[in-house]
Each structure stands twice: as structure tokens, then as C-alpha cells.
Amino acid sequence: MSEVDPQIPFMIEVRGLSCGYRDTVILRDVSFSVRRGEIYFVVGRSGCGKSTLLRNLIGLETPLAGEVCFDGENVGNAGHETRRAMLRRMGVLYQSAALWSTMTVAENVALPLEEHTTLSRREIRELVFVKLGMVGLAAAADRYPAELSGGMRKRAGLARALGLDPEILFFDEPSAGLDPVSARNLDHLILQTRESLGTTILVVSHDLESICTVADHVIMLGRDEKTVIAEGRPRDLIRDSGNPHASEFFQSGLITFGEPKKESP
């Protein structure tokens, strides 16, 4: 974790966001801001609306109310071409990696470059190997997703997400389904991506070890409250979250910092 300069401008701003489906409200009045170059985690127990929030942020769902701004631009008010240009500045690593099973790793990584650039086949091939090299998968370029381990599939998905040099990266439960070693390796890649590219990163997760070792800032969503119930740096939230449900969640992370777990009163 690193301290983020409070003078750095916000890259993502969410104001009064409500999400749901028809008459069912999953989240209401969610507001938070992510500074450029920050690693920001959205956490909470299963069913609290983390993935719903992510789908609204990346444009897969339309908010019921509120607004989402990227680099000062309101997504909801943007025209079709402006919104398309904004989305090209983002990359997403889905929970399952979402690789096409009939394509090789290299073909999967090449897909966004083929769809959104005018680069030649040779130039695309060269860029693909650059991206695969960044995640340590250059040797697996011609393998198919079924031939990869879970950790390798996540890294391939990250290479594809990096294809268009996004300014913002979204991760949906990146450690889900991974063994502890692979999960920590992916944490290292997240940090490495921010350090080498200056990418702003938003991670949806419930992995406390990742939260405590990678995140600069965290918000926690409450399943019953349907909104943000805690916000701050991981260390601060572990010591005092100001909410009993959040405290219970973060207290189990004390061992990550080598601190004794507080006894319940």
C-alpha cells in the first residue's frame, strides 16, 4: 500500500448512485471518489451488491439514480461516441477471466486490438507478446484457456484488459477460485501494473489478505443497509470502522498485520 497524494485529481466519481432491477433496489445513495493512480477496493459480504455496482460502473447496467463520472465526464450525459471513447480508456478483468475457449491466449489478447485499432497484424502480434510478457505468459501464447491453470487464466485476462493501455482497470473478485500462492501473485501483478503504468485500479473483492496488503482505500457495502457502511484505509478500518458489521469483517484481518485480534466484549 502507498499513500495517495490528496492533491491528485479524482479519476472516478460516483454520486448518489442507486442500482437495481425494475422495482428491486440492490444499492442506494452510494457515493465515493477514486484518485488517479489509486488502488481502490469495494468490499463486503456475499449478496451486498458489489458485482451489481461494478456492472453499473462499466456500463453493463443503467443506474436507477445518481451519476458516474470518469475524469470529470458524466457517463450518463455523454453522447454515443463520447461514451464509446470513455469505455476504451477502461479495462476489465472478469471473475472467470471470460476468455474465448476456441481462441488461443494470443488470439484472446489480440481481440480488443483488432476491434479497436488500425494496427497491422504484425504490430498486433508484437503488442500481444508485450502484454503477455508483462504478466509472465509469453510462453503460453499458443495455448488454449482449457490448457491453463486458474491463475494463468486470470493473468491472460489481465493481459487482454491491458491491451488498449487503459487508464482505469476494474477487477471483479480477482482471487476467486485461486490457491493462496496464485492469489498473492495476482496481488503483485496489480501493484506492478499501477507502478509501471500509473493505472487507476478498482477491485471488487472479499479477500482480506488482498485488501490489507494491496488497497490504498476501501469502501464496504452493507447487505442489510444497501449502501456504504465504512470507508477508509485498511489499517484504519481494522482498528475502528465505526460500524459493527464492518468491524466484524475487518477484525479478522488483524493477523495480516501481525497484530493480536481484539477480543469481543
pLDDT, residue 191, reads: 92
**Report field, pTM of the whole predicted structure over 0.85:** yes
Beta strands in 36-82 (DSSP E): 39-43, 65-70, 73-74
Q: What tens digit of pLDDT does each residue of 32-78 get?
A: 999 999 999 999 888 889 989 999 998 888 899 999 999 888 887 87
Q: What tens digit of pLDDT does each residue of 97-151 get?
A: 788 999 999 999 999 999 888 999 999 999 999 999 988 999 999 999 999 988 8
Per-residue DSSP letters for 188-250? HHHHHHHHHH--EEEEE---HHHHHHH-SEEEEE-TTT-SEEEEE-HHHHHH--SSHHHHHHH
Identify which has the larger pLDDT, 170 or 8. Answer: 170
Name residues whose C-beta falls within 8 Å of residue 138's C-beta, 6 or more positions apart in sequence: 129, 132
Name residues whose C-beta falls within 8 Å of residue 105's C-beta, 6 or more positions apart in sequence: 99, 132, 137, 140, 141, 142, 143, 144, 145, 148, 156, 159
The pLDDT mean for the chain works out to 87
**Domains of the chain by residue range:** 105-164
Q: Which residue has the cell 493473468?
A: 155
pLDDT(261) > 60? no
User: Which percentage of the chain shows pLDDT scores above 70?
Assistant: 92
Q: Which three cell numbers stand for residue 244?
A: 459493527
User: Which percentage of the chain shows pLDDT scores above 90?
Assistant: 49
pLDDT(255) > 50? no
pLDDT, residue 130, reads: 94
Confidence band of 176 (pLDDT split at 50, 70, 90): confident
Residue 73 CB neighbour total at 10 angstroms: 15
Confidence band of 263 (pLDDT split at 50, 70, 90): very low
pLDDT, residue 1, reads: 53
Q: How many Å apart are CA 175 and CA 188, to the nearest integer?
A: 12
pLDDT(253) > 70? no
Helix axes 180-197, 121-134, angle to 10 degrees: 120
Q: How many Å apart are CA 170 and CA 204, to the nearest integer?
A: 8
Sign of the alpha-carbon dihedral angle for 230, 233, 239, 240: negative
Q: How many Å apart are CA 68 and CA 168, to the nearest integer?
A: 14
pLDDT, residue 3, reads: 59
Provide mean pLDDT across the span 204-231: 91
